[in-house]
Structure 1
Amino acid sequence: MNFAQPQWIAAGLLCCSAIYLLHLHLEKKRNLALQVFAAQTLLAGLTRNVSSNKRKIRLFLLLGTVFFCFMALARPQYGHHWIEVKRKGIDILFAIDTSASMLAEDIRPNRLERSKFAILDFVNRLEGDRVGLMPFAGSAYLMSPLTVDYHAFEQSLQAVDTTLIPDPGTNLAAAITQAESVLRNDANHKLLIIVTDGENLQGDAIAAASTAAERDLTIFTVGVGTPEGELIPLKKGDSPEFVKNDSGQFVVSRLDEQSLRDIAQKTDGLYAPLGNRGQGLQTIYNEKLILIPKEELAEKRHKVPVERFPWFLGIALLLLFVEYLMVSRRIEGLAFQLPRKLRGKTIMMLFLLPAAIFHSPSAIMASPGEQAFQEEDYLAAAEYYDNALADDPDNAALLYNYGTAAYKNNLHDEAITSFNRALQSDDLLLQQKAYYNRGNAQFKKGEESLQADPRKTIGHWQNALASYEASLQLQPDNKEAAANHDFVEKKLEELQQRQQEQNKEEKNQGEKDTDSENGNQNSSEQEPPPEQQDKEGENSGEIAAEPEEQERGGREETTEPEEQEDTEKKSQPESSKDGEKQRQGQEGKMSKEEARQLLEEMKNEDGTLNFIPKTDHKPSNTQGRNW
């Protein structure tokens, strides 16, 4: 026999001692009152029917009742039984470097993009293990909590870029420390996979790895880049720019393999270079994950002590019942007296009392789903409620519990669906809780798309506000719902304000671009090229007479932008040039009707030119031709 919470035994002894001292104090006051009421010689005759021994027995019966109630609270355990425990799987947290050096292009398209591709290939090979995402640079933060929703993980990964974390540098120590708090659970295996080039290390990463090893955290490091290194681009285009140091020299980012290898060895992990096709993560999967013993991933039997608190609770009820029946008067041959009105109920209690004492404790223990949830094994809890819903799909309580477990597993879509179905219940308290938890799930769902699609996030957060408002309508004094509502409302206002500012900037930029194009056109019109000035008197009247032809395909060099000139030059076919030369030889100049007819022949049904110009074709100068 042992007790899971023995502190309650000490509390029971203190409580019984206090009751006994209180009884002595009241007994003393009663005797003093009797002495005032009658003379000492008359007290014996007045109290001859009162049995002091029976009064003491009733007192001890009451004290025994209280003490055995505290014994039941101490959770006495005797014997054990075996239960099947499903695997808890592997928790894998990816820490990906987002510093500026990850833009180096010594592996294509660059270090960061190649790392993202390799992580996606790795996750696609997993089966039921939870994955999380933690970008880091000079600091680290959890972007995607541990989840089995690989689609949500992929969305978060796609949003990772070098502007995500404003703190520059590569602080591996901060990433390891943050990962310890994320992976603080009872999973069979806890893995941290760091994907970085290992340069510009800040903090003591080796000491952080040693601390992680003490907490059963295994670290795998994946080196991105090449030892020879590459320049870090700042801007791409016709005139690319690269990062320079204070002395004006170009900075070359090189892979620091030795540091990454030392970090992995501290936790019995593995270092592997990423390679050009993500071979490093494949090596980790093939040499480590696939070798995890099968029995650790399968169901296993677990010995659980048997709770015996019903025994002590039954004894307490029995003592209380005896104390209630026992009389304090000195009556010959009578120790107990039962009121006539309670005799039928008492007989029923006598039959039910043995059932309360010897009833199987497993029948009154919490369900396996509730136990798993309290032990933070949310995967097992969700599986239990999912199986229960197969037998009773419309049970609102099961739907609510499954939704809560799914929310803890970061399966926010499933949680929202389950809470929606639970709202069909007539239980107002259950509805209030479902609205509240649905609001939490909708907020978390919005956080997943915050980086990739802020507009979608706004929609999810607006739905969350509606859920909190519905919860407050059912329970206006719910402080948690009110606090969450205010928090989400503030976050939503900030996001909407940022979106408005971004849209305003885009609009202003578009107007600037338009003004710039118009300025170029005006300058082109005001200052025609010398060749065109020579021909202006000859062609100006005819062009003004046919503006539509300019829009459909004809051009005049003085009124069209430079980009359109190049397009029209490339679009002139060789066949048209031959015909044109013939006409020039005959007439010296093509007429307007001939030009229009030639253009119509060159167009297909949808109004676009039906030829593909050759890339090496160089059209002759067409200045001075009306069409």
Structure 2
Amino acid sequence: MGVDFLPLRFEYPLALLTLLTLVPLAWALRYAAARRLEADAAFGGHASLRLGASPGRRRVRDVMLIGAAALLAIAVARPQWGTQDARVERRGIDVVVALDVSRSMSAADVAPSRAEASAAGLGELLTHLRGDRAGLVTFAGTAFERSPLTLDLGALDTLVQRAQQEELLVRPGSDLGGAIEASLEVLDVDDPADAQVIVLVSDGEDLGEGLEPAMAQALDQGVRVYTVVAGTEAGAEITDQIAPEMTRADRTTLAAIAETTGGELRELESLPGLAVAFRRLRQSLFDEETERAPVERFQWFLGGALLLLLLQGAVGEAARVRPPMPGRRAAVGAFGAGALLLFGCGGSAVYQHVTEGNEAHEEGRFDDALAAYGRADELSPEDPAIDYNLGNSLHELRRFEEASVATGAALAATEDPELATRIHYALGGHAIMRGELEEARAAYIETLRRTPEDQDAKANLELVLRALAPTPTPPPGDQEGPGDGPQGGGTPVPTPGGGDPQPGTPGGQPGAPQPGGTPATDPASPGGPDGAPGGEGGREAALAEARADLAEAIAEAGPEITLEEAQRILELARRANALESLRSPGGGGSVPR
């Protein structure tokens, strides 16, 4: 392994700005020395009583401290010079893209057209695949192997973008079975990966007769087929040189293919999110090569800083008598050295990536946060906290389908009850934003099973139950005007809550919804809401009873909650919230959440 010595560079050059702190540090030390001299002159007595204290030795100690701080700042910037051979491994899975290039893909029910939207989604997917081998099959009435499995995903993207211009390579029509069989042939290689998948992008129209055998063959070979719907059920008219014709997307056929083979049905807009799902599959080693990498030299500067700190502790302030270091100072010095090593090394690579993701998330740079968490996930794919962070960032980017996948993976991997509770809460928020109110209800109920006192989960469950409950039609002449009374029905749109996001820790519930306010109550009534007894002691007892009733109702509810159970839970939640609002010190109105 050879080493080349090249010019000095820094991995984090902005960290060198910490050298500016040496100026106030030097000023503070000089000010402390001047005050020490004044104190010695005023209260120290004769100089012979101070055991020969030497101002020169004090200056040496100060210089050592400043030098240690400077070396530490340089070490944090990670200086590098020279290069050496480093081994790089490429791991992934086998992916074959089966792209429909039939005439119906020119329909414009998906802007700008099914074909162009599919090519754009596949291009973004290929940019997110890391270490995977991929191939391409184009099909219409027949299927054509356009590219075998390759690691050159850039070249494959070029083929995808111009695939619709090569429809002459296949016969007119649409044969999904032939596409799956051709993809299986591409996956039949001498060194197959442990995990192999097919991404079938089509509008679902099938004029062939070999779909059932093709699905059975994929199932026998353990190949999952992920189907992507290109088009809408409303459909659009094909307007080309041939006679106009109406075409509609067949979701039922594509869903059956995915379910039979163990894959998943996706919409075009969530196609890039398959990269996250693929990282959950077992990875195989495809390539191993050696490349030149810079050599880290921060250890030299870190060692120099540690050495100066040790020497500073050994150098006494007296010229003739050097008192031993007190035990407390020795303990502080040992702690400082340990902290210096920890800070200088910056922790593991996973820790560094998570820290970068946390900072980006707090600053609102959610794309950067997602990229940092992705790098951490590659190094530690079994860490549920990282999956939880991925879900939070994907939620902020409004990629709710992918957020649900990542957060669900975190739930499957975690053994921490507190983190599991927060994950259930976050899953409820993802489900609401996807319009899956039944799923959101189940998530909030599970949250309350674990933490019955969670006011946010109670209020969000109330919103979901209100949206799921049928809205009664008011009798004639009793219509409420705009702005009068509560608003019922519809999908709840909760505002994000739970405090500022704290990615990387179980704390906080970023991306999860909270209600916008509390139910309307009349706190001025003598007996309190729902007949609660007056007085502080009575209100506290009524509140405790309401909470206990709500927890019991939630515990008794089965996995398939009935309408009566939902209405009872809703009423108990309203009562608990109303009683909670009466606990404000002034007693003059509801307490804002």
Q: State the TM-score, normalized to the length of structure 1.
A: 0.38
Tell me which protein shows more helix as a share of its residues: 1
TM-score normalised according to structure 2 size: 0.40
